């Protein structure tokens, strides 16, 4: 459904920054960034799934996982 929508980057780590460094930072690139104009007849979710996920079309769906409690943003 969603191929990998997460991008990683590795920030420069200076020697005088007291907070423990985060070595890998991430951001999300949702699927709308790769579609200029939605093609016709894309496969659809059922109405129940569509409401739950916030879109009628699987190819426009973007997963987001809370980073709270040490979770990281992932695409399953």
Q: Does 40 bind another protein (CB under 8 A)?
A: yes
Tokens linked to 57: 């079309």
The verdict on 23 binding another protein (CB under 8 A) reads: no
x/- map, 55-74, another protein, by CB under 8 A: xxx--xxx-x-xxxx-----
Pick between residue 32 and residue 74 the one whose CB is nearest to another protein. Answer: 32
Residue 6 sits in the site that holds another protein (CB under 8 A): no
In terms of CB distance, is 21 or 65 closer to another protein? 65
Give me 42's structure tokens.
């894309």
């Amino acid at each position: 459904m969603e191929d990998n929508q997460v991008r990683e980057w590795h920030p420069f780590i200076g020697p005088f920054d007291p907070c423990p460094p985060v070595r890998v930072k991430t951001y999300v690139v949702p699927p709308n960034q790769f579609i200029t104009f939605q093609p016709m007849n894309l496969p659809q979710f059922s109405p129940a799934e569509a409401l739950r996920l916030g879109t009628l079309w699987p190819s426009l769906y973007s997963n987001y996982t809370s980073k709270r409690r040490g979770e990281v943003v992932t695409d399953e």
